[in-house]
Chains A and B, each alone.
Chain A
Amino acid sequence: MSLFCKRATTPRVLFPTVSLIFAAVLVPAPAVAHGIIGQRFFPATISTDDPFAADELALPTITSFDHETDIDVDYSKSIVRGFAIGIGIGHVDSTALGNPPARGFGNLAIAPTLEVYRNPEHEFIVSTGVDWEVGGTGSRAVAERTSTFTPTIKFGKGFGDLPESMKYLRPLAVTGTVGYVIPTASDEPKSIEWGGAIEYSLLYLQNNVRDQGFSNVVAHLTPVVEFSLSSPTRAGEGGTTGTINPGLIWSGQYVQLAAEAVLPVNRQSGHGIGFIAQLHFYIDDIFPHSLGRPIFGGKK
């Protein structure tokens, strides 16, 4: 997923004019994780973070909603098996009514992910991390000068363990994330960012429940509904805002394509219907013997 999709108008990162080699060697990865646990393949969700520590690249993620267009890049690199660091950069172009146009790069975002529990039999995984939006690294026009830290818990659960009588619900899976946003500036409000995804894997349906005769292209589709929300921790700081994003993910062998509509949950969250789309590379599959492997610990 994109590190930057979570917020409508804040951080984005410097677009480093670095080479592929630089990116390949240097960076770990943030919020773009696909993963397998047990018999379940989880595609990378694009509006919220999922719980896997993986080698991935989202390039680009394009979001257009409520008079703002964002273009983000997120890269995730596994350090050891089950631990990855993500880095995200992005460009914001805002033309909100009543405000002067604002354009520039958002703050750099760094998001480590540590998988702390895996249960393949029940297709269940829990991970944690502390996301860091590095204040002052982005353009003054669109990015905060101060940093925020967000301790986060994420999970994923597939329902392949449902009984035979509910076999057509087995392709269902959910992911979730809850984070407590702590700004370093004392005058900025704390908040809780939370969200998740409900997805139905046609691949799981085809291979594990009943062969539907899907073509290879159709079988790799995953209908998904994501929701990404933010709630203040104190009364008087406004209500919950966010979006609900229904869409479709197609997962190939090496790349993933995804597109979702962006629907505000209330008036405070924005107006109109937007969209988000992403091209996503599975680096662990593209470069299994080099860039796609953990830096330490060797084989997956």
Chain B
Amino acid sequence: MKRGTFLASLAIACCAAPGFAHAFLQRAEPGAGATLRAAPRRVALSFSEKLEPIFSGVTVTDSSGRSVETGAVVIGGHSMVAQLRPLPPGSYRVVWHAVSVDTHRTEGAYSFTVKP
């Protein structure tokens, strides 16, 4: 096989492959480092890949480490959403882990603040 053919076949194979990949965080509400005047009612995370609900999750805790979520985290498609109880002013920590449908795992964490 000539080099050009080799390269072309490889490129086609790669581009045409029904790929999956690591699920990277693409959007977060509230975002990392945000300072909010009004307490958010939920944390919503959007990912680059479809998630495996059983192996993915998110927790939101206050500065003393207590969970502030209400109910179960809803995970579907590319997103996960955690409903929050009314939050008093303070600093909060979001910790997530995501397993894409091809079993690749990613994780992350960030903080946001609710102003008095």
Contacts and interface: CB of A to CB of B under 8 A. Distances in A.
A207 B32 contact: yes
A18 B3 CA distance: 9
A18 B9 CA distance: 11
B26 to A, nearest CB: 6
Interface string B1-42: 111001101100110010111101110100111100000000
B58 to A, nearest CB: 13
A289 interface: yes
A288 interface: yes
A59 B22 CA distance: 21
B32 A285 contact: no
Residue among A203, A285, A299 having the largest count of chain B Cβ atoms under 10 Å: A285
Tell me the interface secondary structure of chain A in the complex.
mixed
Contacts of A17: 1-3, 6
Given A36-B22, A38-B107, A286 B32 contact: no
Given A207-B32, A209-B110, A210-B33, A18 B1 contact: yes
A253 B6 contact: no
A117 interface: no
Interface string A268-295: 0000000000000110111111000000
Interface stretch (B64-72, B73-81, B82-90, B98-106): B98-106
Interface residues of B, number: 33
A253 B21 contact: yes
B70 to A, nearest CB: 24
A286 B104 contact: no
A39 B108 contact: yes
A19 B21 contact: no
Contacts of A210: 31-33
B33 A209 contact: yes
Given A209-B32, A209-B33, A300-B104, A285 B13 contact: no
A15 interface: yes
Interface in A119-171: none
A285 B19 contact: yes
A38 B46 CA distance: 19
Interface of B: 1-3, 6-7, 9-10, 13-14, 17, 19-22, 24-26, 28, 31-34, 48-49, 102-110
| CB-CB nearest 6 A-B residue pairs | A211-B31, A210-B33, A288-B102, A285-B21, A253-B21, A286-B19
Given A17-B2, A20-B9, A59-B7, 5 more contacts: A17-B3, A39-B109, A207-B28, A254-B21, A281-B14
18 contacts: A20-B6, A20-B10, A23-B10, A41-B106, A206-B32, A207-B24, A207-B25, A207-B28, A207-B108, A208-B32, A211-B31, A254-B21, A286-B14, A286-B19, A287-B17, A289-B102, A299-B103, A300-B105
